[in-house]
Amino acid sequence: MKSCEQRGRDLLNLNVITSVDLTEWLRTKDGGNETINLGLPSYDMLCTVLQSIKAGSAGLLLGNGVEVDQQNRPQDLLLDWFFHPVLVLKDQIQVLKMTEQEVRFLEKSTLFVGGSSAAATADAWDNGAETPRDPVRTAQIQAISRRMVGIVRSMSKFPTYRRRYRHVVKLLVAYAVEREGSFGSSASGPSVSFEITRLEV
């Protein structure tokens, strides 16, 4: 969850996601904004996988430099549930041998989940992505994206995950408020306050 917070900050700095997106997600009981609800944690997981591939890790290389594999993974129910499926996706990504532009396309496809509004935001984010000319290749990459989002969707059913992720979003709201200087401006929407408690994530 620490890496998810950092990548959320990076996306806020790039104006890819906004404080409005985050606060609307916190206000909505069913987490209506799919980019925040599923896209951000899926994007974070994808970045971890890509980082692990680049480093030649046999498992997953976490943001703090710790490598987690089948032998030393923590005995945590949530982690144990998704660890193997993520490693399978990691192998599938390696087999595809994507170009840099295709990797960026995968990142964009993973982050922007949802309808037309998400698609419009995706089009506005110039991250160097290029849609493959080969429709089969495009379908293969989009399938990876859907599986990544599917893993996060299943994880989100765990109360522990929901509690930790909601805390991360609150931290991102606090960061956005500090960054913007004022949360009460017309650009940021109505003033809002969320209690942030100490939580190990």
**Residue-level pLDDT, tens digit, the chain, 201 residues:** 889 999 999 999 999 999 999 999 999 876 678 999 999 999 999 999 999 999 898 888 887 778 888 777 766 666 677 888 899 999 999 999 999 999 999 999 999 986 656 666 777 788 989 999 999 999 999 999 999 999 999 988 888 889 999 999 999 999 999 988 754 544 444 444 444 444 433
Tokens, residue 175: 């960061």
Tokens, residue 21: 């997106």
Q: What single DSSP character describes residue 130?
A: -
Tokens 């005995």 correspond to: 75
Spell out where the chain has E strands: 60-61, 67-68
Query: Taking each helix axis from N to C terminus, what angle separates 40-55 and 100-111, rounded to the nearest 10 degrees?
Result: 150
The domains of the chain are located at 2-180
- This prediction has a pTM of 0.84
As assigned by CATH, the class of the 2-180 domain is mainly alpha
